[in-house]
Amino acid sequence: MTAATPLVSVRNLKKSFGKQQVLRGLDFKIPAGRIYGLIGHNGAGKTTTLNALLGLMDYEGEVSVLGMNPFRERAKMMNDVAFISDVASLPRFLRVSELFDLIDAIHPNFSREKAHDFLQGTDLRPELKIKNLSKGMVAQLHLAVVMAIDAKLLVLDEPTLGLDITYRKRFYRRLLEDYMTDERTLLITTHQVDEIAFMLTDIMFIRDGELVLDLPTEELGAVYAQLITSGENAKKAEALQPLYSESRFGQTAMVFENVPTEKLEPLGEVSTPTLSDLFVALMQRQTAVPGE
């Protein structure tokens, strides 16, 4: 791979289970050194996409990860890829030390020493069983495992599922501050949109097996705008065909795509929509009556 070669390249990715088509022809590329969020409702196709990237299932289309076909070259590819699902996937019957033994045997780039370093100052001890740990301690252990793997691509599928907001935020901030480098790439799936917005360099929204958004986060403001308006101005704004609108405390919030700011500013307060507002707007677009 050269410096210009994407770390992940996907073209026309499709997957069906029986008669149900779960992925409907995805196309995207992930360069090195980026933090991608793959956001979608439950059942939208997030985990299926990850399973294709990780070589855990066959698929239609073309997929390249680190220059390799993940389904045919999975063993070689996984030397530089780490995948950890939600915290509930940690085997609860093991002790902390036994978990480290297991990961040490599975992943060539796991550092037991680094894992122990990340646990310094916590109440976690090698002899403790995972099933007896609090949710916060499990989150600390999960984070230590993640950050002790020196991988070019780290894939996290709903990594903080079941944790309260305090531990979720702490998990992501520590991951950003202590793990990410220009040589590492992070792909996170979640439906908790705004909690990871601060760390994302790129965002992908998936709906019913199709990508409805794939943009660097810094470019969102150039494409999408949110308008808070009311009264006659709201009626004028409707003529500009918002993607989505809703009433909020006597005002109307609208999200627009590729509408010049100078057209919106006379009608109310204009800003860049939050990721959660944009998510709601783009997920709602298929509710229009056929033929409109």
pLDDT at res. 139: 86
Same domain, 60 and 194: yes
Amino acid at 178: D
Rounded to whole angstroms, the Cα distance separating 169 from 195 reads: 7
Contacts of 134 (CB under 8 A, 6+ apart): none
Residue 268: CB atoms within 10 Å: 20
Same domain, 180 and 260: no
- The reply to whether 24 falls in a domain is yes
Same domain, 240 and 204: no
Q: What is the domain count for the chain?
A: 2
Same domain, 180 and 253: no
- The reply to whether 46 falls in a domain is yes
Helix/strand number for the chain, H first, E second: 10, 13
Domain boundary among 208, 243, 267: 208
User: Helix (H, G, I), strand (E, B), or coil: what is residue 212?
Assistant: strand
Rounded to whole angstroms, the Cα distance separating 203 from 218 reads: 10
Same domain, 204 and 263: no
- The reply to whether 2 falls in a domain is no
Rounded to whole angstroms, the Cα distance separating 75 from 133 reads: 32
Two structure tokens written together for 30: 């992930």
DSSP code of 23?
Answer: E
Helix, strand, coil percentages in the chain from 3-state DSSP, rounded to 5: 35, 30, 35
- The reply to whether 204 falls in a domain is yes
Two structure tokens written together for 237: 């704004």
Same domain, 115 and 244: no
What is the H or E stretch that residue 270 is in? strand 269-271
Same domain, 171 and 237: no
Domain boundary among 163, 178, 208: 208
Please state the φ and ψ torsions of residue 80, each to the nearest 5 degrees. Answer: -120, 15
Same domain, 254 and 199: no
Rounded to whole angstroms, the Cα distance separating 126 from 124 reads: 7
CA dihedral in degrees (75, 59, 160, 39; nearest 10)? 140
pLDDT at res. 289: 37
Same domain, 256 and 204: no
Max intra-chain CA distance, the chain: 68
Rounded to whole angstroms, the Cα distance separating 270 from 169 reads: 28
For residue 256, the enclosing domain spans 220-287
The low-confidence residues of the chain, meaning pLDDT below 70, are 1-4, 87-88, 285-292
Same domain, 25 and 165: yes
- Residue reference for tokens 């979640």: 190
- The reply to whether 292 falls in a domain is no
Same domain, 165 and 240: no
- The reply to whether 241 falls in a domain is yes
- The closest alpha carbon to 190, from 181, 180, 200, 182, belongs to 200
- The reply to whether 13 falls in a domain is yes
- CATH code of the domain covering residue 241: 3.30.70
Residue 112: CB atoms within 10 Å: 13
- The reply to whether 278 falls in a domain is yes
- CATH code of the domain covering residue 106: 3.40.50.300
Q: How far apart are the first and last CA of the chain?
A: 46
Same domain, 249 and 114: no
pLDDT at res. 81: 95
Domain boundary among 176, 208, 240: 208
pLDDT at res. 287: 40
- pTM of the model as a whole: 0.90
pLDDT at res. 188: 95
> How does DSSP assign 44-94, residue by residue?
SSHHHHHHHHTTSS--EEEEEETTB-TTTSHHHHGGGEEEE--GGGS-TTS
